[in-house]
Chains A and B, each alone.
Chain A
Amino acid sequence: MSGSAAEKTKQAVENLGRNVVSGVQEIGWGSSLLAESLFWLFAGPKVKQPVRMGSVFAQMMEVGVYAIPIVAIMSGTIGVMLAIQGIYTLSIFGAESQVTIGIAYSITREFASLITGILVAGRSGSALAARLGTMTINQEVDALQVMGINPVRFLVVPALLAMVIMVPTLTFMADIMGLLAAGLYVSADLGISLSAFFDQTVEILKVADVLHGLEKSAIFAVLITLVGVANGASVKGGAEGVGKVTTRAVVQSISAIIVTDMLFAFVVTR
């Protein structure tokens, strides 16, 4: 229970090593899960084990359609926030009318995908981890396996497909809602008409800017799913374990989203 400083240091280094190894292990597991999911998606029908479209649609409702209100409200709020801060900052140079550039770029390239990713991670990433965790503990996953139903095909692929379709769709909606809300604020504050704001926005934005956000959001979708599944499947110990992996899934997927966001911006923008 006690130990010299040298021993404590040794312990700390050992722990660090263990954590790094388990982290790498988890990333490896996630990648093989992605590979397996793609296998079932494309090769499943050939071995008479197709992915059921019914469950994909059910997941799309859950992940996408039911998230519309919250994503709309939050992206609108971010739009207004950007407008307020933008006008404040530019007023220093007396260039308030240039605020549209900042808003248009930051919403489409950054904030729409980021806020959508974080919201979906909180709503659906956690739900996925909790569902898979509970199913693992109740031996439902074992039961599927014994019945010859591959759990990856049955549980993971529908969720992955739904995420990859719905997160970019939600992001596109967030683009529009964010710009609309920002436009309303700008037109009220600076007296520019809404249509003038949108003309300006369309002029500034290129398709590549919108795509930049959408591509990123597709990566977020994959990350949210893999982190949720990996955590759910690694559950240990009853209900408390499910709580733990759910929290872990949310924290990890939001962290992964933010780090990936930065890396993506760095690689693509430079």
Chain B
Amino acid sequence: MTFDTTNREKVIEIRDLVTHYGDRMILKGVNLDVYEGEIIVIMGGSGSGKSTLLRHMMGLEKRTSGTIHLLGADMEKVSMGEAFEMRKKMGVAFQGGAMISSMTVGENIMLPLSEHTELDPLTMEIMARMKLEVVELAGFEDLMPSELSGGMLKRAAVARAIIMDPKLLFFDEPSAGLDPVVSSQLDQLILKLREAMGMTIAVVTHELDSAFTIADRITVLDKGEILMTGTVDEIKNCDNERIQNLINRRTEEEILDPEEYLNRLTGGEIVPNVKW
């Protein structure tokens, strides 16, 4: 099955994205298009840069070079007011939920409404309860985030992420730390959201089963570079060794540079410091 990109608008357009963390280069020239209404899964091992890529897509980090267009605009180049407007059209469910711990679940979910709209409290409460119904957490609005389990927190975070009916939804490791049943419930929820609201959804995960279940397309990231972007079948059937290693859970033999190895072992003490 191929993914039909004709007649679909590009919602996210990333070109030659290079980022650094301190002196270390994390993303080394990433190009990615995400189309309207698709679920794209960003996959890769730990340290591959997938979370960094997601943070850049959400406009949380400053990049070294390259461009990221979200919904047609580059968040680093628009005015503060326009950036606010853009943010109203996106939602995010972070790994641990990231619910504000001093507020109840209900207050958390209503937060974007109370900050960005002039709705009366009753309407906001009704909307929050509607979203809680969607994530199957009805009746939990008066609890504090600390009283919820890990899976419930993630679902509550989804309710908060969709309260403004965003066009773009980001998920950071939705299945991390969850048992298989709860994890697959969350997968179903993601599919349901796309179906019901037509959102474009970007998911970062290292869980293969989850990725194969929900993705329209998968992009595989390794050591800061995109190895391949394609449909589930294309990824499964490709003959790239690194991708096959990743999806077959094989560990990769690290190719070692003898000098670097010596340097690492000795903490750089024996190898002469060429900088001086």
Contact = CB atoms under 8 A, between A and B. Distances in A.
Contacts of A48: 116
Interface string A134-156: 11001110111111110000100
B98 A147 contact: no
B269 A139 contact: no
A131 to B, nearest CB: 8
A148 B98 contact: no
B95 interface: yes
A145 B98 CA distance: 12
B88 interface: yes
Contacts of B55: 142
Contacts of B111: 147, 149
A148 B88 contact: yes
A171 B101 CA distance: 31
**B58, B91, B98, B157 pick with most chain A CB within 10 angstroms:** B98
A148 B84 contact: yes
Contact of B98 (A1, A131, A138, A154): A138
Interface string B168-211: 00100000000000000000000000000000000000000000
A6 interface: no
Contacts of B98: 138-140, 142-143
Contact of A140 (B81, B83, B99): B99
Contact of A149 (B92, B99, B115): B115
B68 interface: no
B216 to A, nearest CB: 23
Contacts of A207: none
B212 interface: no
Contacts of B81: 47
A142 B95 CA distance: 12
A146 B60 CA distance: 8
A48 B85 CA distance: 12
Contact of B101 (A138, A147, A154): A138
Interface string A9-44: 000000000000000000000000000000000000
A48 B111 CA distance: 15
Contacts, number: 64
A138 B102 CA distance: 13
B94 A148 contact: no
B76 to A, nearest CB: 14
Interface string A113-128: 0000000000000000
B29 interface: no
A139 B96 contact: yes
A131 B111 CA distance: 18
Interface in B35-89: 55, 58-60, 80-81, 83-84, 87-88
A140 B112 contact: no
A146 B99 contact: no
A243 B105 CA distance: 27
A139 B95 contact: yes
B100 interface: yes
Given A138-B98, A140-B101, A146 B115 contact: no
Given A1-B269, A139-B94, A139-B95, A146 B100 contact: no
A131 B101 CA distance: 10
Contacts of A145: 59-60, 87
B34 interface: no
**A48, A135, A144, A148 pick with most chain B CB within 10 angstroms:** A148
B95 A135 contact: no
A48 B116 CA distance: 8
Contacts of A139: 94-96, 98
B18 interface: no
B96 A146 contact: no
B92 A148 contact: no
A147 B59 CA distance: 11
Contact of B94 (A131, A134, A143, A154): A143
Interface in A47-105: 47-49
A135 B115 CA distance: 19
Contacts of A144: 100
A166 to B, nearest CB: 19
Given A143-B92, A146-B60, 15 more contacts: A47-B80, A47-B84, A48-B116, A135-B101, A138-B98, A139-B95, A139-B96, A142-B55, A146-B91, A147-B160, A148-B88, A148-B112, A148-B115, A148-B116, A149-B112
10 contacts: A143-B98, A143-B160, A146-B58, A146-B91, A146-B92, A147-B87, A147-B112, A147-B115, A148-B116, A154-B115
Interface of B: 55, 58-60, 80-81, 83-84, 87-88, 90-92, 94-96, 98-102, 111-112, 115-116, 157, 160, 170, 269
Interface of A: 1, 47-49, 131, 134-135, 138-140, 142-149, 154
Question: What are the 4 A-B residue pairs with the smallest beta carbon separation, nearest first?
Answer: A148-B87, A143-B98, A139-B98, A139-B94
